[in-house]
Structure 1
Amino acid sequence: MTEAVLLETIDPQGVMTLTLNHEPTRNALTGTGLTEALLDAFARIERNRDIKVLILTAKGKVFSSGGKIDEMARQIQPEVSSAALRQEYRHGIQRLPLALHHLEIPTIAAVNGMAIGAGCDLACMCDIRIASEKASFAESFVKVGIIPGDGGAWFLPRIIGMARAVEMSLTGESIDAQTALDWGLVSRVVPDEQLLPTATELAHKMTGNSPDIIRLTKRLLREGQQASLANLLELSAAYQAIAHKTPEHAAIVQDFMARKAQKKT
């Protein structure tokens, strides 16, 4: 990882901010080293128990332009076979949604500008999306004659529903921040200068809670997207048994009981 590609900061509350920083390509994910840098960062975050929330944002006027056209020009050459391209996707950008989706800590995309193609999908890979008033979103793969090859067809319908996902994917047209809010693609729209402060404030509301319980709760929400009710309840029972034995839960219950006893005297 180099600072020309990805900037990292971490605050005392355990909130890490990763900032895409490749303005010459408008933070393209392919052909820039950004995908590799993100994968390296996610692996380190997963091993670091001191990191409690991740914020993903970008420098410049664009969150991410997605795929780099220069890279697509290489891919259409006769000497690059379809079989080779399939492996490039599997061992390249497709590792990104798997790594980000399976991070146990909460992830917040602070979308500062245009999120185009794979850039839109990158935002969708996060748990929460907050948009600047200047942000826009486009599932624009059809505009360049390709399909969403990085998981967008899985993420987008789960976030905004099938009908709107089909509309975005088959027209390739962009939607503005307010439409994204109306459609449930983002949870908040804020003035540009308030984007990172708002994302950080939200992250700090999470870091005040037990990090282990945050991780378990996120996992339950993820599993609930696919599991049957019976299976989710079974998993919830197991996780709840763990939760009841955490020191944080014990301290909260003991404090409540002490205050209750004090009121009786």
Structure 2
Amino acid sequence: MAFLNIQRDGAVLTLTMSQPETRNALTGNTAAEEFVQVCDEVRRDPSVKAIILTAEGPVFSSGGNVKDMRRFFDETLTPDAIREEYRQGIQRIPRALYNLDVPTICAVNGPAIGAGLDLVCMCDIRIASEEASFAESFVRVGIVPGDGGAWLLPRAVGMAKASEMAFTGEAINAQEAMSFGLVSRVVAASELLPTARALAGKIAANPGAVMRMTKRLLREGEHASLESLLEMSAGYQAIAHKTADHREAVTAFIEKRSPRFS
């Protein structure tokens, strides 16, 4: 059974995690392979302008499958082998999803626990249902964030709150998540997907190539110096000025009409 249910509506792709029987756990299944595959396909398809990530069932994602962790008790399984399993397994998700050039919207329908919270942080825009909650709970099962959470969460909520969440493992509710900047909106459960789709529609109305370059600049800006980012921005701007969509946007503005992007 596939982990991701993929639906397309025009330029918007909706990815729905569809294994509610395991609370949409990200390990012990094909989740990593499917995320990598869909991200590769989107990267090669310039007609995709926005992605919505959500989940089926009452839980967004429980993160790692705790029952599956018992196999690590096997004395023949060495630390080196486990490290390589993380590299070739769940760590492929942040490498694929976080670095994707297409804007991503996470519609969090329920609890996002451990790696499930880290998955939320991999997305650009995060909207929560009133029923959502968030916990960086690795410490409670005696492990560390193994999928990049120690890098992702502080960038979403700041180091102090990320430290509190990681050191206690305690959950915060949707309103708390919004107050700390983890999510930008909290809506009723019935309005979660309509809100995400409306936002994706606004994004998809803009030129796709310029959107991808804009996201890349935002990503690079997280670790580049100002001078490096200015140089990269100048190069991207030179490309943007020569696109048909830029010409159409300027022409439409002067002619006082809506642009028709190609």
Q: If the length of structure 1 is used for normalisation, what is the TM-score?
A: 0.94
Is contact 1:64-1:114 (8 Å) kept? yes
The SS at the match of 1:54 is strand
Instruction: Give the corresponding residue for 2:7.
Output: 9
Instruction: Give the corresponding residue for 1:203.
Output: 200
> Aligned pair count?
256
1:255 Cα offset (Å): 3.0
Match of 2:85 among 78, 81, 88: 88
Matches within 5 A, 1:39-118: 39-118=36-115
1:76 Cα offset (Å): 2.0
Q: Distance in 2 between matches of 1:21 and 1:104?
A: 24
Over aligned residue pairs, what C-alpha RMSD do you find?
1.1
Q: If the length of structure 2 is used for normalisation, what is the TM-score?
A: 0.95
> Which residue identity is paired with 2:248?
A
Name the CA shift for 1:198/1:258 in 2 (closer, same or farther; >3 Å). Answer: closer
Per-residue CA deviations over 1:142-171 (Å, capped at 9, x if unaligned) read 000000000000011111100000000000
| Unmatched 5+ stretches in structure 2 | 257-262
2:171 is the counterpart of 1:178 = no
1:243 Cα offset (Å): 1.0
Q: Which has the larger radius of gyration?
A: 1
Match of 1:19 among 7, 16, 29: 16
Instruction: Give the corresponding residue for 1:262.
Output: none
> Which residue identity is paired with 2:225?
S
Name the CA shift for 1:255/1:37 in 2 (closer, same or farther; >3 Å). Answer: closer
Per-residue CA deviations over 1:171-192 (Å, capped at 9, x if unaligned) read 0000000000000000100000
Per-residue CA deviations over 1:108-132 (Å, capped at 9, x if unaligned) read 1100000000000001011111000
> Which residue identity is paired with 1:86?
R
Q: Distance in 2 between matches of 1:76 and 1:164?
A: 32
1:258 Cα offset (Å): 4.2
> Which residue identity is paired with 2:242?
K
| Unmatched 5+ stretches in structure 1 | 260-265
Question: Hey, which bits of structure 1, 4+ residues long, moved more than 6 A?
Answer: none
Match of 2:130 among 121, 124, 133: 133
> Which residue identity is paired with 1:48?
D
2:138 is the counterpart of 1:148 = no
